[in-house]
Amino acid sequence: MTTDSKSRGPALATFCLAAFLAAGGVTTPAMTRSAQKPGSASLPLDVENAQIVRLEHLWLHALDRGNIAEINRILAAGFRRPAPSAGRFITKAQLLAYYRKHWPVRPAGTRTRFAQLDVQFYGDVAIARGILTTRNSQGNLLRKSLFTDVFVRRQGHWQAVSAQENMVPNH
């Protein structure tokens, strides 16, 4: 993320979260916080949730639009994800290089949305788990997947360090 959410204040972050929820982007939020260490310097829960939810929406939007620059900002330098078909883990650089060569073109009228998004915090680590659905222009379900994204807060900014997505067969 290139802007500092702290400088915009909790009210804006809360507004952003409310806007996402009102727009129907997240239909069943269940956001919780794990016990926090005494004296830990963190933002209020609603602000941190808004930051992670915003990153998830930015990431999904970037994937829909082919915005590699935005994905590059969201992923930390040490980002790694499993590539089961290759039987190994791939780095941020490898993932971005793959996207540059093989950007998936989505059929016109398809839309991917969060059917569920849950965020849990463990100090400077946030885990987002959810369900993504892709539907065609007639509303038919084309694809459903479960995902887990791991974010780390460094110098006040959240970035993804790992991600995994699994297709749900016979949706």
Contact 43, 6 (CB under 8 A): yes
Question: For 109, phi and psi rounded to 5 degrees?
Answer: 90, -5
Collapse the DSSP code of 101 into the 3-class scheme (helix H, G, I; strand E, B; otherwise coil) and give the result.
helix
For 55-109, the pLDDT digits (tens) are 999 999 999 888 999 999 999 999 999 998 889 999 999 999 999 998 877 788 8
Q: What's the pLDDT band for 23 if we cut at 50, 70, 90? A: very low
- CA distance to 53, 115, 119, 129, 167, per residue, from 30 (Å): 12, 12, 7, 10, 22
Residue 20 has pLDDT above 80, yes or no: no
Apex 159 CA angle, 96 and 31, nearest 5:
125
As a whole number of Å, the CA-based R_g of the chain is 16
Residue 34 has pLDDT above 60, yes or no: no
Q: What's the pLDDT band for 171 if we cut at 50, 70, 90? A: low
Predicted confidence at residue 43, as pLDDT, reads 63
Cα–Cα dist 132/116, whole Å: 7
Residue 12 has pLDDT above 50, yes or no: no
Predicted confidence at residue 70, as pLDDT, reads 97
Contact 107, 136 (CB under 8 A): yes
**10-167, what's its fold?**
Nuclear Transport Factor 2; Chain: A, (3.10.450)
For 111-160, the pLDDT digits (tens) are 999 999 999 999 999 999 999 999 999 999 999 999 999 999 999 999 99
For 37-66, the pLDDT digits (tens) are 333 455 677 899 999 999 999 999 999 888
* Extents of the domains making up the chain: 10-167
| 58 class by beta-carbon count within 10 Å (0-12 exposed, 13-18 middle, 19+ buried) | middle
| 155 class by beta-carbon count within 10 Å (0-12 exposed, 13-18 middle, 19+ buried) | exposed
What CA dihedral angle connects 85, 99, 26 and 18, to 10 degrees?
150
Predicted confidence at residue 25, as pLDDT, reads 38
Residue 28 has pLDDT above 50, yes or no: no
